[in-house]
Amino acid sequence: MDIRKFIPRSSARGAWILFFLLTWLWASWWMGDSFRIAREQSFFAFDATLMHGLWQQPFGFLWIIGRAILVLYRWPLLGGLVVALMLTGGTWLIAYCLRLRPDSRWHPLCYLPAIAWMAWVAWIGLNIYFQAESGRPFGILFLVVLICAIDAFVIWTFKKRGTHPAPSHQEVSGKWMWSWAVILLLLYLLPFAITHLRHPYQRPFTRMQVQLLHDDWQGIIQTAHDNAELSYRPLAADYAIALIHTGRLADDLFDIRLDYDTLFVKGYGNYPNVGTGLYQIDCDYHAGLFRTATHHAVEHLTMMGPTLFSLKHLTRLALLDYDWPLARKYLLILKKAPFEGDFVARYEPMVGHPELVDADPVFAQLRLTEPVNDAFEGQFEEPSFLGYTATMMVGRSKEALMQSLMACLYSKRMPDFLMRCQPLVGATLPRSVAEGLVTQVSKEPDILKVFPQLNMNAQMFQNFIRTNQFAFKDRPTYARKLFNTYKGYYPYYYFFGNLKATRKRSDEEHGGSKAGVN
Amino acid sequence: MKTSNHISHILHHLSFMAKVCGWATLLIACSSKPSAVPTAFTETTDSLAMYPDYRDVTIPPNIAPLNFQLNDSSATEFVVAFESEVAPKAGFSCGACEDGKIDIDLSLWRQLLYDARGRSLTVSVYAHRPAGWVRYQPFTMRVAEEEIDPYLTYRLIEPGYEYYSQLGIYQRNLTNFDVETVYENDRTFSSDNCHCINCHNFQANDTERMILHVRENHKGTIVTHGNDAYKMIIKHDSILASGAYACWHPTLPLVAFSSNKTAQVFHMNYNEKIEVYDAASDLILFDADNNEVRTILRTSDHFETFPCWSADGTRLYYCTARLPKMPEENFEANLVLRYDSLLYDIYSMPFDTVTYTFGEPQIEINASAQHKSCSVPRVSPDGRYLVFAYASYGQFHLYHKDSDLWCKDLQEGNLYPLTESNSNDVESYHSWSSNSRWQVFSSRRDDGDYTRTYIAYFDAQGQGHRAFLLPQRDPEYNLLLLKSYNCPELTKNAVQVSTEQIRHLIYNTEAELATYKE
């Protein structure tokens, strides 16, 4: 059966359109948030001073072009459209240069480079931007398209019309064509599969990061709940940030899995990395540790050069510090970046106006947990947003107390937790605090006298212990099985959650060295 | 609601695109800058907004054009007229478009300064507003008789914390805008090769002899003599660490180094962001011709640092602080908590240039008695003045906002601040021109974080004049640059070794171990 008999003459055009639509789908819907965040972790401006550092790097001009393309991901549909056009155009040019005409036996080969590029992008995951050059993926794509275009132009110019070899009239069987169609479809699905299987955290995390850009706290919580069974620190970090801003930290923190599977990310110089840098600055900032956030944002600026992400953080931090000249400097730079008008319009009026800074609802929330006294970062366990928050002795608000309590519960520092519960005597206890207290009743029986309202919680806790006695023998195995039943219940987290961190902590304490907080 | 938000969003971006088109039109419209002084104008008493602010400064007769940017939101074009006091008709004028950037012609500027040497220039700014041309109150610049050394060597580095990435030492020709690279580390991160470079120093404002340090990978100290260079390393049981802050003897092949155990800590809630302190420091003397090193001062209860030779090389000045009383247990942890009780005085001791021996130390500036602290002493090449940085505590005044430049008249003995040259923010590292009439120094007066190089006239009566920012071709350059200028050093001539020579030494040469001499 000759398949060509069943395909209209416009089938070739249809294949190109289908390919274009599929790549657009991938580049805008599937990868849209990833590239949107890559854009935030990048910087492009039509200014020689600002692009000088990148320009001087090997292949710097290429990375600049890659970043320019990334700029369009301000709107993922638009960015995806351009990328899809480049992929489709590049594929067409490859077909033209290699004379793989639509009716040629080997025509389907022309699609492979585009699919290979997509698979590579999927394979590197968050390293499309994390501690890596964000202009690289699109810079490489641009280079390939450019080379093909030049090659095609040369062929078109120097080959006499008619001497470009005619398509080989080999018989192409229907079976052959169908086989290729199936292979291409499977290959097309490969980038989706790689992201889904190797980097399952990537899409929810970048979604949450986009939501963070818009202060969409409910959206972040929803995304976290939709992916509650995924257990990765970056997701937990963004979720905790959203809970802080909605006042739900003490009630909902343990609603998602907190066991932390491995992230496949590389750090500077392509070395393995645990990915703390994905969320550290955001966490410092939203925990009210402005100096520490500045510290890490400047480190980010040092290692990555200017990025929208670091410049925006530094602008906000300068405003919180009432440091107008510094805020003005960062805003001037951001004004040079295309499509950053919204950010500048929101924050520029605050320069020189402390009353506007204080009136900003997000800033006002963050101020509640700003440290009261000075200390040095090195006096606390890392990361500071946990180490400091869990051990600080003086806070400026009940929100600061609540964050401290939750940091203690999260890192299972129960003596510190109990000490911080004293101001809550006689008050209505948030869910996690009440559940945290009952886990300590066996060690501190007086808890029930001080907090008589906990009797019901104590009973529930006893039931939990009794019912799950079997699981204590092999906690790692049962942790996952019990999660759906006890999602959000602190005693479950206390005994079955974050076991790797708990084990590490007790090992390190056993060794006599200072423990790292996970 | 969401739809209307969306629509307003789209409209916002459409208006942005319209603005872009508007800018493009303006750019074309203002392609020819006005330059003729308007004949009809009205006087305005509005204060003139210009960056950098070059009003009422004293400038060297050989300095590059002082390009600046005018800011008047209602003006569409500007004209600036420069007139010399001696020959008013001999001046010139130049114009700017809406961006207000004045780009002065180098040859016209040179002629003007030649004419005005020892006299004043009058600068009149005209702005074209919708109602017609206005003239701001004219201001003056005084052109000194004495030239400044034509070369300025400095390091560019992010105002970072712990990390560093791409950084370099550069040399600027002050008579124009040319910049040459003395040495740059790698432009991309590589954990096997990354290295920090710092503390370049020259002998008596002459590049015949130079040193610079390399830390981390490929470490060592590069010592140059004319076109020759070698790499050496100071390492011995009797020495704390490699040489740090250095000062060439004015005539002999000797370098006085401090040897420091330096640490830094990060504030979490304080006016300052970082503290850099020494946990120990001594002074050592390096003989460059014989590659020998010996101890100058090693004390257990004092920290000695920042050595500096007198102009004739017969005295060595240095800073020293008494170790605060505290328990020996957990020494460094206790020391960091007493960071603000380390107060540095300036001492000097005689040096025999024949036997290379030092005499008894004597106090020069007893800052600790005033609960103050000195740093970076530098004696003027004419031997008359000692200028140093003065702040409330510590020795790394780059991070102390109250740090100012002070002066001691070594002939009269009186001590005073260089009020005209100082600002409300940091003034720290400084160096003299070979004729003792110019000082360049680091200042954070622009925005508090990014160190910039300022130049100030220092008159024969020992008074510092109003300082001005190192001029750049693009006046916006310093606002956009995300790096700090470090260790500005003036020299009479250009660095003699090539970048390639230094790179070869750093990468391909084993450092020679300096011999320790008891």
A319 touches chain B (CB under 8 A): no
Q: Which of B191, B265, B448 shows the shortest C-beta gap to A271?
A: B191
pLDDT for B130 beyond 70:
yes
Q: Is the pLDDT of residue A235 over 90?
A: yes
Q: What is the pLDDT of residues A436-461, one digit of tens each?
A: 999 999 999 999 999 999 999 999 99
CATH class of the region B42-143: mainly beta
Q: Name, in order, each residue with C-beta under 8 angstroms of A319's C-beta and a sequence gap of 6 or more.
A: A327, A347, A350, A351, A357, A363
Domain with residues B151-515, CATH architecture: 6 Propeller (2.120)
Sign of the dihedral through C-alpha A442, A445, A449, A450: negative
Closest CA to A295 of A305, A287, A285: A285
CB A255, CB A483: distance < 8 Å: no
End-to-end CA distance of chain B: 82
A376–B187: do the CB atoms touch at under 8 Å? no
Among chain B residues, CA nearest to A392: B268
The C-alpha atoms of residue B120 and residue B139 are separated, in whole angstroms, by: 10
Euclidean distance between CA atoms A245 and A399, whole angstroms: 10
Domain boundaries, chain B: 42-143, 151-515
Helix (H, G, I), strand (E, B) or coil at A403: helix
Model confidence at B1: pLDDT above 70: no
Q: What is the pLDDT of residues B349-393, one digit of tens each?
A: 999 999 999 999 999 999 999 999 999 999 999 999 999 999 999
SS3 A452: helix
Q: B165 contacts in A (CB within 8 Å)?
A: 302-303
pLDDT of residue A9: 53
pLDDT mean over A249-255: 95
Neighbours of B456 (CB within 10 A): 24
CB contact A323 to B (< 8 Å): yes
Domain boundaries of chain A, sorted by first residue: 3-162+171-199, 204-367, 377-510
Taking residues A472-494, what's their average pLDDT?
94
Residue of B nearest to A378 (CA): B265
Find where tokens 């995924």 sit: A230
Q: What pLDDT does B4 receive?
A: 46
| Chain A neighbors of B450, CB-CB under 8 A | 329
> Nearest-CA residue of chain B relative to A296?
B161
* Share of chain B residues as helix, strand and coil, in percent rounded to the nearest 5: 15, 45, 45
Q: Indicate if the pLDDT at residue B492 is higher than 90.
A: yes
- At B316 the pLDDT is 98
Q: List the structure tokens of B474.
A: 């693009």
Among B341, B337, B323, CA closest to B393: B341
Segment A90-126, tens digit of pLDDT: 999 999 999 888 778 888 899 999 999 999 999 999 9
Closest CB to B162 among A58, A291, A299 = A299
Per-residue pLDDT of A270-298, as tens digits, reads 888 999 999 999 999 999 999 999 999 99
pLDDT tier at B157, thresholds 50, 70, 90: very high
Q: What is the DSSP code string of A457-506?
A: HHHHHHHHHHHTGGGGGGHHHHHHHHHHHHTT-HHHHHHHSSHHHHHHHH
Q: What is the largest CA-CA distance in chain B?
A: 87
Tell whether A205 is within 8 A of chain B (Cβ).
no
Per mean pLDDT, which range of B52-56, B261-265, B468-472 is the poorest? B261-265
Strand order of the β-sheet with B151-157 is B179-184, B168-173, B151-157, B484-491
User: Would the pLDDT of B6 be above 60?
Assistant: no
Whole-prediction pTM value? 0.92
